[in-house]
């Protein structure tokens, strides 16, 4: 038994897809860290949320950040299909162009943009966190790592 991230794990998850994902995560960690830093910046996080409440069409720009996160996460394991619920959230929160009539339905139209970003950012954050904390993919799962595996339908 080894201690990892304040928890005790009995053994390693040796499933080939999980091991390949973990190796790719470790390799791409610097790139993902940089992206997470950008996603936590004023212009990629604070300002778009403000723009939502300010009812500014600039909130639509958040879709590009979301797509970049998803592209980088998918590239960790391009052969694995992403979680259907996550894909549905992405579908509802991306591919939108501003129309003046959106102002009358602001919450209905723009809230999915933020929701898609928040979900994508969460998975990116878990990738970076557990990319640092874990030395191997454990069988006994911390919640964040388990969530990350759900993204790739490995849980």
Asked if residue 91 belongs to a domain, the reply is: yes
- Separation of CA 89 from chain center: 12
Asked if residue 57 belongs to a domain, the reply is: yes
Contacts 24+ apart (CB under 8 A), 67-70: 67/94, 68/35, 69/35, 69/39, 69/117, 69/120, 69/121, 69/123, 69/124, 70/120
Q: Are 33 and 139 in contact (CB under 8 A)?
A: no
Asked if residue 5 belongs to a domain, the reply is: no
Weakly modelled stretches of the chain, pLDDT under 50: 1-2, 8-9
Asked if residue 1 belongs to a domain, the reply is: no
- Closest by alpha carbon to 94, among 82, 112, 106? 112
Asked if residue 4 belongs to a domain, the reply is: no
Domain residues for 119? 12-151
Asked if residue 110 belongs to a domain, the reply is: yes
Asked if residue 3 belongs to a domain, the reply is: no
Asked if residue 116 belongs to a domain, the reply is: yes
Domain count, the chain: 1
């Amino acid at each position: 038994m080894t201690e990892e991230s304040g928890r005790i794990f009995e053994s390693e998850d040796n499933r080939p897809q999980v091991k390949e994902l973990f190796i790719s995560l470790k390799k791409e960690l610097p790139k993902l860290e940089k992206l997470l830093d950008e996603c936590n910046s004023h212009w990629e996080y604070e300002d778009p949320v403000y723009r939502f409440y300010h009812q500014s069409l600039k909130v639509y720009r958040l879709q590009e950040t979301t797509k970049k996160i998803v592209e980088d996460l998918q590239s960790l394991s391009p052969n694995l299909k992403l979680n259907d619920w996550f894909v549905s959230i992405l579908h509802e929160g991306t591919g939108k162009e501003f129309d003046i009539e959106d102002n009358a339905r602001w919450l209905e139209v723009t809230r999915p943009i933020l929701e898609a970003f928040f979900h994508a950012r969460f998975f990116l954050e878990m990738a970076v966190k557990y990319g640092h904390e874990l030395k191997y993919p454990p069988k006994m799962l911390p919640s964040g790592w388990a969530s990350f595996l759900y993204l790739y339908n490995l849980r």
